[in-house]
Amino acid sequence: MEFKVSTKTGEVSFSIQKKLYALELVQGAAYVLTDRAVDYVEEAKGRYELTLKAKDKADATRERLEALAGEFVNELLNHALRQKLLANNRSIMEHIISRAMVSARRDPADPAQPPAAAEQELNAEQRAEIDKLIAEAEAEIAARRKATAKPDPRGIAKTWEERYGKERTG
Amino acid sequence: MAKSAPAEDSGRLTRYADAGSVSLADNLVSAAAYRKVGERYLVTNDIGHFAQLEPADFKAYLSGSLQKGGELWKELQGKGFVRDHLDFDGLAEEYRNKNNFLFTAAPLHIIVTTLRCNYRCLYCHSSVVGLDQVDKDMTLETAKKTVDFIFQSPAPTLILEFQGGEPLLNWPVIKFITRYARLKNQAAKRNLFVTMVSNFSLLDEEKYAFLVDEKIGICTSLDGPADLHDKNRLFLGGSGHAETARWLKRFQEQAKGVDGKKHFNPGALLTTTRYTFGRSKDIVDEYVGLGLPGIFLRQLSPIGFAKRSWGKIGYTSQEFLAFYRETLDYILEINRRGTPFFERAALTALTKILRRRDPGYVDLRSPSGAALGVMAYDYNGDVYTGDEARMLAQEGDRFFRVGHVAKNAYNDALDNPVTKAAAMATLLENQPLCSQCAYRPYCGLDSVYNRAAQSSLWGHMPTNERCKLYMGLFDIVFEKLQNPRDREVFESWTREQ
């Protein structure tokens, strides 16, 4: 395979035969290198024209650009192998997503789902108990608000701003 | 034992040198992914099974020349790697067990009872507010509606987790939610658990008694010995470490059954900052000394105060992995010396790898647990796809808000396009790099991280630091699984769960 290197622009160009690799594989291999290079893929008759432009100027040497192109070719071979190894997962993916979504929803028609215990599903005794809980909590909150005016010897009720005079960030 | 290359130097997808020349035996090789770990090839499949093969065996497996009926062939066949010899019923059952989160609604519901806090942690992800801002407390009305909203979830198990701010600053609402939820559960009949994440600084005897009586699980932050803890976690009242340690010991004692009341073991987690590096031994010794069963070495997220102070306390994934490896080595050493003690991130991975069970960690599954495994409720009733999503909103990005407890029904949050988009973006089969990764059966993406760090729900894995970090973490775990002594320790951790 012939690599055309330009150290001036930090690019290496080469072509991949279409009959050997699908566009999906070329794009997949290019994606893996996007941490180090900007990848350009163009379609020509019977081939794909690839240009990899190094992101880091330190990689714009002939040796490193050729190594980058070599890495791309190795990645392409691995991508093809991995693709073959893995089953086409699209139908599995759709099934998994729909399964997850359906399972997470409340379905009133599903007798297997536990009750939501909405207000009307509680008995009079339970509703009275809730009213009592609310009244107790309201009284406690009111008492606490009053108590915040009390001395604070350890200073834990003081704000950061009061203590250190810096601007509040929240 | 082959010595592995440092995990932090490994590529995202490692390459097989003979990829171009090997002739794949289609009828013998089942769907699998591979990765070079040390000198061996790791192969994994969707069920979560794995095998670590010598290069010659890997080539023989791919080309179908493994001796049929031989020891290795039997191992691979039993694990679902040999296509013409698959036990469909058994593997389907295993898949279901491994992915049981797909078959139920969100069990975890995080309730932010207040945004106020009396700490100013350097890495606070929650962007807390000062103690005077009582308008940032959840009201009783919102608390009641939050519980009603949560019980609309059809999940058979519900976990209500109080967070903040410092949740104890709104104590009456904690008491109310706990009692109201218990009462409601008499009719709703769920497995109901209540937990709280607190810094303990406002704990007193009355609150302690309530937490024990109501069996509220407790978790706190412990960043190591006093000097390190107090440096990371600034407490307005002085040193926070002493109080944290005192109450941890108290809960430890209670877990043994004081006064006939047996409480849960308290949990503690460590948030790693730059100051943590080099302190592995001190930190683990501190945890062991307090009688804690394990530690969670948690990395920073680029959210909240942590994002703003990243230059001071942040680090690269490589730096974190070097610290992680050093700490894990020490933990394995003390296990071999006879002290059982686990590391939570490794244990989470190992539960998936060795037991093929979901450990319930919503940040590491596919699709992510956003709204499907967890929901978070802000003090004002806003509903988010998770706690980090809620934290991002504190920073002004309300993208992951999917409803309000007073205005929406539970299903509205699930029908929200953001919920669906987050699920699609975090399904590993949908990601160009993840779909071919050998760690796919065990890994997971976080769309909140991706948005915060890379301005995209999908993220860009070749430059994604979280991906790099988990890839390194899995490399370390699989490398250690090649060592029988380390594997023995790992096996003991997963047996005890």
Q: DSSP secondary-structure letter at B26?
A: T
User: B129–A85: do the CB atoms touch at under 8 Å?
Assistant: no
SS (H, E, C) B375-432: EEECCCCEEECCHHHHHHHHCCCCCCEEEECCCCCHHHHHHCHHHHHHHHHHCHHHCC
> Chain B interface, mutation test: which of A84, A119, A125, A145, most B Cβ atoms within 10 Å?
A84
Contacts of B182 in chain A (CB under 8 A): none
Interchain contact A81–B (C-beta under 8 A): yes
Contact B113, B137 (CB under 8 A): yes
Asked whether residue A168 carries a pLDDT value surpassing 70, the answer given is no
Burial class (CB in 10 A: 0-12, 13-18, 19+), B23: exposed
User: A74–B433: do the CB atoms touch at under 8 Å?
Assistant: no
Q: Nearest CA to B58 among B86, B2, B19? A: B19
CA dist B52 and B50 (Å) reads 7
Contacts of B186 in chain A (CB under 8 A): 117, 126
Burial class (CB in 10 A: 0-12, 13-18, 19+), A15: middle
B-facing residues of A in 23-42 (CB < 8 A) are 27-28, 31-35
> Chain A interface, mutation test: which of B35, B47, B436, most A Cβ atoms within 10 Å?
B436
User: A101–B435: do the CB atoms touch at under 8 Å?
Assistant: no
Interchain contact A1–B (C-beta under 8 A): no
What domains are there in chain B, each with its CATH number? 7-98 (no CATH), 105-413 (3.20.20.70)
Number of residues in chain A? 170
In the numeric block, which tokens belong to residue B387? 């706690």
Contact B32, B462 (CB under 8 A): no
What are the extents of the domains in chain A? 4-85, 117-149
Helix or strand holding residue B216 (H, E): strand B216-221
Query: Which sign, positive or negative, has the C-alpha torsion B406, B412, B414, B416?
Result: negative
Q: In this structure, what is the dihedral angle of CA atoms B88, B91, B93, B98, given to the nearest 10 degrees?
A: -150
Nearest to B128 among A79, A140, A170 (CB): A170
Q: Nearest CA to B273 among B232, B218, B316, B311? A: B232
Interchain contact A57–B (C-beta under 8 A): no
Contacts of A136 in chain B (CB under 8 A): 176
Contacts of A170 in chain B (CB under 8 A): 115, 127-130, 133, 394
Cβ burial B26-60 (10 Å sphere, 16+ → b, else e): eebbbbbbbbbbbebbbbbbbbbbbbbbeeebbbb
Interchain contact A17–B (C-beta under 8 A): no
Say if domain A4-85 classifies as CATH 3.30.70.60: yes
With H, G, I as helix, E, B as strand and everything else as coil, classify residue A26: helix
Rg over alpha carbons for chain A, rounded to the nearest Å, is 33
Per-residue pLDDT of chain B (497 residues; tens, 9 = 90+): 333 434 444 567 888 888 888 888 877 887 789 999 999 999 998 889 999 999 999 999 999 899 989 999 999 999 988 877 777 777 778 888 888 888 889 999 999 999 999 998 988 867 788 888 889 999 999 999 999 999 999 999 999 999 989 999 999 999 999 999 999 999 999 999 999 999 999 999 999 999 999 999 999 999 999 999 999 998 877 788 999 999 999 999 898 887 777 778 899 999 999 999 999 999 999 999 999 999 999 999 888 778 888 889 999 999 999 999 999 999 999 999 999 999 999 999 999 999 999 998 999 999 999 999 999 999 999 999 999 999 999 888 999 999 999 999 999 999 999 999 999 889 998 888 898 899 999 999 999 999 998 888 888 888 899 999 999 999 999 999 999 999 999 999 999 76
Nearest residue in chain B measured CA to CA from A21: B20
> Mind telling me how many Å the CA of B471 is from chain A's nearest CA?
14
In the numeric block, which tokens belong to residue A30? 């290019």
The owner of tokens 């992510």 is B368
Nearest residue in chain A measured CA to CA from B171: A141
> Mind telling me how many Å the CA of A132 is from chain B's nearest CA?
10
Contacts of A122 in chain B (CB under 8 A): 183-184, 187
> Mind telling me how many Å the CA of A68 is from chain B's nearest CA?
14
CA dist B332 and B339 (Å) reads 9
Q: Nearest CA to B359 among B493, B248, B252? A: B493
User: Which range, of A26-30, A81-85, B46-50, B194-198, averages the lowest pLDDT?
Assistant: A81-85
User: A31–B305: do the CB atoms touch at under 8 Å?
Assistant: no
